[in-house]
Structure 1
Amino acid sequence: MIRTRTRTRSLIRRGAVAAAAGAAALVLAACGSDDGDPAADGGGSGGKKGASASRQEHNAADVAFAQGMIPHHRQAVEMADLAPDRAGSDEVRKLAAAIEKAQAPEIEKLSGWLASWGEDVPAAGESGHSMHDSGSGSGSGSGSAAGMMSAADMAKLEKASGAAFDTAFMEMMIEHHEGAVAMAGTERAEGAYGPARKMAGEIIRTQETEIDTMKSLLDKG
């Protein structure tokens, strides 16, 4: 009877030791799968693809878009800055304020992208008429100069006031916006960088709406 009890206790101990060893093995296996199992890191190659996708690629069209749009936006802001003191109508003052509010932050974004890509950011002085001292922004420009005003255009705008300023501002800004829309269309068609293509879409939508508004105001005047 005593031997039977002793044998039973021995078997129980052995079973407990085996169970503990099995549990430890399972824990170690689970830990190992976190480091090496493809499913544990987001599906192996799928996880790597996800990391790669977060670092979106850019191409030459994206660089050209950013480098061209920065001086283009700067000139639009320069033109808009003249409106508070010279415009004759509230509609033109509000339009100028909206243009500045939209384009100033975009200049910062575009500059940040170029810096992160290791590309040249157009210098602050390369804006407005300082970039185009001859010729007129008559819609025949291409690339970064599309729709840009000449030094003579800007001088005319600076000297105008009241209704004359309103007319000159809207006529010039329509042309300026049309150039920006063309540049943004090229980016949408040829660019690779998602955020830049998204901005281009916003530029097209916003500036086409503003073009329609300005044409309507000119027709009323």
Structure 2
Amino acid sequence: MVRGHFPRIGLGVATAAVAAVLAGCGTAGTENAQPQSGAPTTPGATSSSPSTSQSTTEPDAATSTKAGETLCKSGDLKLTLGRGDAGAGTVYRPLIFTNVSDRPCVIQGFPGVSYVAGEDGHQVGPAAVRQGEKGGAFTLNNGDTAYAEVGFVNVQNYDTVTCQPQPVRGLRVYPPQETASMFVELPTTGCASEKIPGDQLTVKTIEKGNGE
């Protein structure tokens, strides 16, 4: 918070009168910072990326935790992509979070997911659209896993002009309630256009297990 003092002074003069001074001050605040994105790490690796530019992938809203428990952060987690099942032009794969820290942490809600490309890690197309209800919070101990099901539409089914297909390197992922992103390798093709019919990526709430 930045504080500044801006005096306002009034002065009256009359016979046998004395001067009186009134002063006041004001404050100005700042809004909450938005999550920042970073370029993907070396293909095949997962990490928390440093902040470089604003991303359109928003983390899930915060929730409360029990005394002594902390929310799972990107640095606590290993990120992998499980095997998928195809259906109606869409492949569904579990995005798996494993607690690799030495302490338990709490996880809840929807991760933020988007395609990224290039050495600068720029986002390709819209972020994944949330499907279904937000699940309850649960604890991940060391070695425990949680997953969110991600739907990948076959973008080859879209008109090329409408889709504006681009090669992508993988996924930028924000764990729920986290502003530091992670990266998982997935060489494929994404639609760069924001105006495709339907959603090229969807994501469901975090659940216990590995989804396989």
The TM-score with structure 1 as length reference comes to: 0.21
Higher strand share: 2
Structure of greater relative contact order (alpha carbons < 8 Å, 6+ residues apart): 2
